[in-house]
Amino acid sequence: MTANYNPDLDEIFDKYERLGLIYIARPRDLTLFKGCTFTQNIGTFGAGITIDSPNWQTGNQPHVVLSKNIFTKNMAYFSGNAIYVRPTILASSLET
């Protein structure tokens, strides 16, 4: 697996507010979005939804489920126009 990880994004994420419609920090339980419409949202990371540090590494297995949602014309200044997930594990450390 080849990851396009940019360490500068973590620094920017920490430096600026995570402005967007929905911000989820360190989810521990199931979070479900079903049949929602996200239209013309603007944010710094993930204009529609920003998920910060789901704790997969310690085995809490948080799940964020997106089902039958519509994302239209969302814009983020740095990354993740509709959805941005800031991982706790680098993608390069995952085995395929």
Q: What does the pLDDT look like over 71-88, one tens digit per residue?
A: 999 999 888 899 988 776
Sequence ranges of the domains in the chain: 26-89
Strand-pairing partners, residue 43, are 76
- Name residues whose C-beta falls within 8 Å of residue 58's C-beta, 6 or more positions apart in sequence: none
pTM of the model: 0.71
Cα separation, 43 vs 74, in Å, equals: 8
The mean pLDDT value for 15-28 works out to: 78
Structure tokens at 49: 């939804």
Cα separation, 13 vs 71, in Å, equals: 22
Instruction: Compute the mean pLDDT over every residue in the chain, rounded to the nearest whole number.
Output: 78
Is-contact 69 33, C-beta < 8 A?
yes
- Residue 5: its pLDDT value, please? 57
For residue 57, the 8-state DSSP code is T
